[in-house]
Structures are given as structure tokens and as C-alpha cells.
Amino acid sequence: MNEHEQEPMERLLRRAMLPVPNDVEWGRDLWPEMLRKLDEKPMQVPWFDWALAGGVLGLMALFPASIPMLLYCM
């Protein structure tokens, strides 16, 4: 893109974007809320996810030729 083509694109972008004022005050700090979420109970994995993972591992152990197919599907 040369300078001649760039000028109209730049004008369109400047017109589409709203100016951001320098004196913006954010409503609240999100970091304490994030820390609170991290301190909550850890995520629990449902039993059927473990059963599915075990089934896939069993399939790979019984039929090693299926490994490339399983990796391709992921």
C-alpha cells in the first residue's frame, strides 16, 4: 500500500474511532475481584470427562493404529 492509498484509509479509520479523553476515570479496579475468583474453590471436572479420557486412552492402548486418527481429529 503506497502513501496515496494510505491517506483515504487513514481518514476512514480516524472518523470511525472515537477519541479517548485523557482524563478518563475507571469505575473500579478489577484486580481484587480477579484475586477473589482465583481464591474460590477450584474447578471440578465432571466424572464423564474422566470416563471419556479413560476410554480414549484405552482405545489407544488396544488399537495403537488409531493414535494418528485421534490426533488428527483433535
pLDDT in tens, 23-69: 777 778 888 888 998 888 888 889 999 999 999 899 889 999 988 98
Q: How far is CA 30 from CA 34, 36, 39, 40, in A?
A: 6, 10, 15, 16
State the pLDDT at residue 1: 67
The whole-angstrom distance between residue 73's C-alpha and the CA centroid of its chain comes to 20
User: Model pTM?
Assistant: 0.43
Extents of the domains making up the chain: 48-74
